[in-house]
Structure 1
Amino acid sequence: MLLKDHFIELPFINEDYKLIQNEYASTTIYTEVVHFLQLAYPEWNCNKGLGAGAPEFVLQLINEHEETFYTKPQREALVSLYLDAADSYELSQKHFFSDLMSRLETEFFMMDEEDIASLYNKEINEISQKEYDTLLKLYKQAHIHLIPFTFDF
């Protein structure tokens, strides 16, 4: 699966990503959010982290802190931003990862049974539950490290 496929598949998140790239990519608050996430959670923007939910997470942090980010003393603004990001990351990561796993299971179950069977050179009725479960696990693992969106600063 190409990264482009994720981008096309998720138009509601795509809009968040477009907004970030068009409105915030050159701002200090965007740079600080992305820099913090890269340092604190190295896998934050791959599917193992926030994945396709990364744009929503980044935009939410920017929206919640933008007004005070430029009016508070810099240290206070950064501490507030970083603490909020850290506090909300784990719950958001679990939510987005759970959604991804559900979506991948659905995609796998919708695959042509003959294609699945051909991976074992068997007929579909000859594949054991264990073999089927192994293929599902491998399918999920193949998607965990993909990066649906990139965030440069």
Structure 2
Amino acid sequence: MTRTKYNFPPLLIRCEGISVIGVAAFIICLIIVITVTLLVLRAGKRAAYEITAKHDLRQFVEFEKAYYAENDEYLGEEGDIISNDPDKISALGLEEFTPSDGVTITIISDDPFIVISKHNKSNVVFEYNFEEGIIKQRQEEEWEKSTIREN
């Protein structure tokens, strides 16, 4: 009995039943799946930081409203910050309110009373104007440009 010799094209060289193209396709698909998974997880983390900063701003606004109801003035003045960051000295030593790790709340105006909140791992700034009563969300660069124009 004679054996027939098969001549495979160079791209279909077989290695113990698995083609090189099959292995390469599997590796490429695996890389794509891992990349997409990492991008989704990264976006989820970024959203979590933004949600935390917005939540802390809402909590601070409620605290300030309660303080205003009792004292007929808001607590703090322009430039005061509230943060858990040891590198930032919080001007307001509040026992009733502590922002989450990474969140800094800054009073940027006395009249009208305006506060902003930002997580140090996000480039989104949340702003609350007590006269308007709404939270505005902006990218940090956009927010910085608008404050420069106003001054």
Instruction: Provide TM-score, normalisation by structure 1.
Output: 0.28
Which structure has more relative contact order (CA 8 Å, sep 6+)? It is: 1
Higher helix share: 1
Higher strand share: 2
Instruction: Provide TM-score, normalisation by structure 2.
Output: 0.29
- The structure whose Rg is larger is 2
